[in-house]
Amino acid sequence: MIRNSLNHGGSAARLLGGIAGAAMLAGMAAAPAFGLEIKTSDVHGEGYPTTDAIAYMGDLLSSWTDGRITVNLFPSMQLGGEKEALEQVQLGALEMTRVSVGVVGPIVDDFNVFNLPYVFRNLDQQHAVVDGEIGTALLDMLAPAGLIGLGYM
């Protein structure tokens, strides 16, 4: 898993990895010859780091695929909050969403550990956990709910 900080100027590949790492995908097939529209939502408005990152990811995907893959972002809770967005991914109405860990806890109880105060001594320890075996194991627990967790942001 790759994490990214928009404040620390990573490469384009790191940024894309960070965006994808924050996304949840369900049932997305390979891009057909005629094209693929990835519908996604975010609770934040345009100009927020997460929505800017998703827009940038869309620009990269479109460029890399000669426009065959596009990303259609619905910012500012246009399609509901994070809980509703996750449900829409599970139902196939959205291909991707970025949510905070709080809405994942009701789906996989083990994610609630991230809501406890002072679980990590510092960011380095947090990154070691989420980028390591524990973080991967937690993401794998999403599969029975029809979700694919790509990473943490």
Asked whether the predicted pLDDT for residue 67 surpasses 60, the reply is yes
Q: Where are the alpha helices (DSSP H) in the chain?
A: 12-21, 49-64, 82-91, 123-130, 133-140
pLDDT recorded at residue 96: 95
Provide the whole-model pTM: 0.74
Q: How confident is the model at residue 30 (pLDDT cuts 50, 70, 90)?
A: low
Spatial separation of the C-alpha atoms in residues 150 and 24, rounded to whole Å: 6
Chain mean pLDDT for the chain: 84
